[in-house]
Structure 1
Amino acid sequence: MEQLKPLDAGFLEAEDSDRHVSLAVGGLSIIEGPEPDFDALCANIAERMLRVPRFNQVLKTHVLDLNPPEWVEDDGFDLSHHVHRAAVPNPGDDTALFRLVADIMERRLDRDRPLWECWVIEGLQDGRWALLMKIHHCIADGIATMHMFSGLADEGEVSNYANEIRAARSQSTGVDVPKLSVNPLSWASGAWNLARSATGAARLALEGALEVTTGLLQPAASSSLVGPVSTMRRISAAQVSLRDVRNICDAFGVTINDVALAAITDSFRAALLRRGERPRRNSLRTLVPVSIRSNDALGVADNRVSLMLPFLPVEKEDPVEQLRAVHRRLSRTKGSGQREAGAVFVAAASVVPFPFTAWAVRVLTKLPQRGVVTLATNVPGPRQRMRIVGREVVRVVPIPPIALQLRTGIAILSYADDLVFGITGDFDTAADIDDLARGIEAAVARLAAISAEKRDDRAG
């Protein structure tokens, strides 16, 4: 039986700390019609999904958390508990679709069964239909989830952008993680081995650890963006051209992630002003997950992420200044050791007996954190449009969860020629997430226009 790693188990503890949250991640695929026969589609989904062992396994927990939860085969597995059918009301537009998706995503998965669902959604405009994949975050991070999702494609696992990220170009995180044990002698030995393996990056990791700790403990500027959440959710999405984003990158010497975060910055600035609040330099400390997953582990179902905690520059009004400030702050954060500190922390947690880590996570997730204001996670998706049961997938929207006092979360996904922003918000306190989505699109459009003018000036 395979045990959950501390980071994977941490998502269960975080969910348990607040009855208002569900820590499932989602992937919504909008597909050209006509919709296939439901029974045939179920058989197709089952054949492809059940290649992944996690989708036929349940969690076995232990009294008092004396050992980590374990994945065991579900002897009573029944596909009908996991594949469901639903329809959106007329007119079948995005508003109706996202309301249905929010209803599905806000409900917790049943831990007595494998932690996933697939929803076949009918009634979309233009004869289209959709598939919603819902998977608990304890199973996988965004990259692993997208890798599993691409297995639904007729072509099999499709080429994606994941191998372009920094971690993918190395074969490991550089930290030798010992196996878990409750034996104190084994624990001490494992900690010593971890210390030796981390020596080369110890100074950088220590500096990063101090920054991360400060970021988590020091409250951000008070705003309506952070605080308790309800059980209900709102979902929206923005979509921009990857060509426009790459043109902006070329014009200003920045990355795709810089452009995405700058667009998010501009839209959050507008949201604060719309709510009658003043954007400050410390208003938007953002949790930016960083993959530490190498290419040889793309298909492994688990979480392999570190983090960065930059302040996005909502205090700046000019879009170009916002973009440059994002680039500077991300560059400084990347060099500060935050990524390395997160990786070492995750590795270190693996040598501590599980009861201690479970207790620590449980206590920390119950604290009313106010240091982090929102989440912005970038997930590399398929390079080409996928086909499922012979139909083209015209759009893919990532659906992030929210928890730990964060009232909004944004997942960014590259799919074929588009960059898609999936936004989850608390129903009661983030009623303006459609405006947030439109603001992201408008911000990219402004930067694209400025980039075009810059190219024209150079050509002239």
Structure 2
Amino acid sequence: MELLTTLDAGFLQAEDSDRHVSLAIGAVSVLAGPMPDFESLAKTLAERIMAVPRFGQILRTQPLDLGAPRWVDDTDIDISHHIRRSALPRPGDDAALFRWVAEVMERRLDRDRPLWECWIVDGLAHNRWAILMKIHHCIADGIAATRMLARLCDDVAGDTFATQIRAAHEPTGGGLRMPALTLNPIDWISGAWRTSLGATTAAAAALQGAVEIAGSLLRPAAPSSLTGPVSNMRRYATVEVSLEDVTKVCDRFEVTVNDVALAAITDSFRAMLIRRGETPQRNSLRTLVPVSVRSNDATDKADNRVSVMLPYLPVDKADPISQLRAVHSRLTRAKASGQRQAGNIIVSAANAIPFPFTAWTIRALTRLPQRGVVTLATNVPGPRKRLRVMGREVIRLLPIPPLALQLRTGVAILSYADHLAFGIIGDYDAAPDVDELARGIQRAVARLTAVSAGHWRSTPVGTLALVQGG
């Protein structure tokens, strides 16, 4: 028996607070055909899935949230409820696949069963087929889920994943290093001084971060069509860009892959607002950016280990280089401000509070109208090498983010081999143009790539000189 942490249980409580949302995450693997015999494929997938203990467990909740939910083994699991088959109508193109994905993801998982589904999808054009794996967010965050889902593949040994997670090497504020024991009294004094100084610095940074997070949640975003309640129907779209192109931009402007991805998202959201007849404001796009606090030796642990940053994406800026530099500086500032440390400390502290109080508080807060955060952008390092399932190559790996807390759109970013995939989910009524949002991301990356190579010039003063000087 294993109890859920406060953060894991929070995803259940957030789902309970809005009957229109499903807090499941997922990924679509598109494979080269032909599809294997369904019975043998289902048997192989079942063996691999059930090798993950969490997929054989169900949740047991306590009445009135008097105790944390707990994982218990399901002794009577019927695998046919979880591994299912579907077929796309002709012509089986991406549009048909994405409509089907949206319909599957908008339905909640049955909490009386293990919280996952695996769909085998036939009928894709060009002799392709697909596997959709869907799990509840209370089971795992993006990094852990990606590792778990890779168990479906033939061989995941070796350096397949991004094994060095940047966040794992950054301080979280969750602990302090004690001075080493020596026989020199001077070392004792200097060590104690350094420890107390570090404690003061960490506490100050975490406090500042907590203030910034609270202020971000309390300050409403600029009124726009991006905010408001959601329905229970979804739209889904994806786009893939060359990881080599993104890396060239990173090298040219000394930024990270995440900076480039968020800058492309910024430009596309700006175009969306303008297309809708709205003026992008400085405070139009407060964005929830999850940050991993998972250590490298815990990548296979089934749970959530994330903190958050809440930067404004600079949709008020028209120039792509200005957008990129603003994204980089704002994320750097958010990291330095202690937001990540504060989020981690808050989550850790919540685990020490009696569960009923945290559960009731989360349920109450998630029922309140949320107007500060507008969208989600989560980036997960994926497989570095091409994967195979029963000898068939996975030619595309597409992420699917959740949608909740009155966010009308969400973007998940996943690297796979030589591509970076953006999976976009949106409310069916409030975000009918998610396809355009995807195409806008692709155009933005192409434009940044051209700028980095000196093949494109923009009109704002200053950008022209920068490109010519490069």
TM-score, structure 1 normalization: 0.93
Q: Contact between 1:281 and 1:315, CA under 8 Å: does it hold in 2? A: yes
After TM superposition, give the deviation of residue 76 of structure 1 in Å.
1.2
Query: Quick one: structure 1 residues 137 and 362, their matched pair in 2 at CA, closer, same or farther if it must change by over 3 Å?
Result: same
* Distance in 1 of aligned mates of 2:132 and 2:351: 33
Inter-CA distance 174–210: structure 2 relative to 1 (3 Å threshold): closer
Shift of 1:200: 5.8
Q: Residues 161 and 383 of structure 2 are in contact (CA less than 8 Å); yes or no, is this contact kept in structure 1?
A: yes
One-letter amino acid matched to 1:117: E
CA deviation after TM superposition for structure 1 residue 162, in Å: 3.6
Q: For the Cα contact (< 8 Å) 1:160–1:380, is it kept in 2?
A: no
| Structure 1 match to 2:390 | 389
Q: Quick check: 1:147–1:157 contact (8 Å CA) kept in 2?
A: no
Aligned to 1:68: 68
Aligned mates of 1:303, 1:42 — CA distance in 2? 28
How far apart, CA to CA, are the structure 1 residues paired with 2:264 and 2:87? 33
| Contact 2:255 2:328 survives alignment (8 Å) | yes
Q: 1:311 to 1:174 in 2, by over 3 A?
A: closer
Larger deviation, residues 318-327 vs 112-121: 318-327
Structure 2 CA distance for partners of 1:409 and 1:198, relative to 1, 3 Å: farther
Q: Is the 8 A contact 2:238 2:424 kept in 1?
A: yes
Aligned partner of 1:270 in structure 2 is 271
CA RMSD of aligned residues (A): 2.1
Partner in structure 2 of residue 232 of structure 1: 233
- Deviation, structure 1 residue 113: 0.2
Return 5+ residue gaps in structure 1 as ranges.
Answer: 178-196
**Paired residues of 2:173 and 2:345 also in contact (CA < 8 A):** no
Question: Where do residues 327-342 of structure 1 align in structure 2 (5 Å cutoff)?
Answer: 327-342=328-343
Q: By how many angstroms is 1:166 displaced?
A: 2.2
Q: Which amino acid aligns with 1:222?
A: P
After TM superposition, the structure 1 = structure 2 runs for residues 22-33 of structure 1, keeping only pairs within 5 Å, are 22-33=22-33
- CA deviation string 1:235-292 (max 9, x = no partner): 0001100000000011111110000000000000000000011000000000000000
Q: Is the 8 A contact 2:153 2:389 kept in 1?
A: yes
What letter matches 1:147 in structure 2? R
Deviation at 1:10, TM superposition (A): 0.1
Counterpart in 2 of 1:250? 251
**1:325-366 Cα shifts (integer Å, max 9, x gaps):** 111111111110000000000000000000000000000100
Structure 2 distance, partners of 1:158, 1:110, is 35
Superposed displacement of residue 66, structure 1: 1.2
Aligned to 2:109: 109
Specify the alignment match of 2:421 in structure 1.
Answer: 420
Q: Does 1:152 align with 2:152?
A: yes
Residue 93 (structure 2) aligns with: 93
Distance change >3 Å, CA 451–CA 113, structure 1 → 2:
same
| 1:39 aligned onto 2:39 | yes
2:373 & 2:468 partners in 1: Cα distance?
Answer: 41
| Contact 1:144/1:298 (<8 A) preserved | yes
Unaligned runs of 5+ in 2: 177-197, 457-466
Query: Is 2:174 aligned against 1:175?
Result: yes
SS at match of 1:126: coil
- Residue 58 of structure 1: aligned partner: 58
Contact 2:209 2:339 in 1 (8 A): yes
Aligned pairs for 1:1-12 (under 5 A) are: 1-12=1-12
Cα distance in structure 2, aligned partners of 1:394 and 1:257:
23
Measure the CA separation in 2 of the matches of 1:454 and 1:435. 25
Report the 3-state secondary structure (helix = DSSP H, G, I; strand = E; otherwise coil) of the residue aligned with 1:164. coil
Q: What SS does the aligned partner of 1:140 have?
A: coil
- Looking at structure 2, the residues matched to 296 and 69 of structure 1 have their Cα atoms a distance apart, in angstroms, of 26
Using the alignment, how far apart are the partners of 2:13 and 2:158 within structure 1? 33
Question: CA contact under 8 A between 2:139 and 2:302: conserved in structure 1?
Answer: yes
Work out whether 1:323 is the aligned partner of 2:321: no
Q: Is this contact kept in 2: 1:11–1:23, CA < 8 A?
A: yes
1:267-306 to 2 correspondences below 5 Å: 267-306=268-307
**Number of positions where the alignment pairs a residue of Structure 1 with one of Structure 2:** 442
Given that residues 150 and 158 in structure 1 are in contact (C-alpha distance below 8 angstroms), is that contact kept between their aligned partners in structure 2?
A: no
Deviations 1:151-197 (A, max 9, x none): 11111356345433323347x955269xxxxxxxxxxxxxxxxxxx9
Q: Which amino acid aligns with 2:164?
A: E
Cα 1:140–1:69 shift into 2, 3 Å: same
Cα distance change of structure 1 residues 406 and 7 upon mapping to structure 2, 3 Å threshold: same
Letter in 2 for 1:392: E
Look up the match of 1:380: 381
Whichever residue aligns with residue 174 of structure 2, its letter is V
What residue in structure 1 maps to residue 356 of structure 2?
355
Q: Larger radius of gyration, structure 1 or 2?
A: 2
- SS class of match (1:425): strand
The 1:12/1:382 distance shift into structure 2, 3 A limit, reads same
* Residues 291-322 of structure 1: per-residue CA shift (max 9 Å, x gap): 00011000000000000000000000011111
Between the aligned partners of 2:309 and 2:168, the Cα distance in structure 1 is 18
Measure how far apart 1:459 and its partner are: 11
TM-score (norm 2): 0.91
Match of 2:453 in 1: 452
Percent identity of equivalent pairs: 65
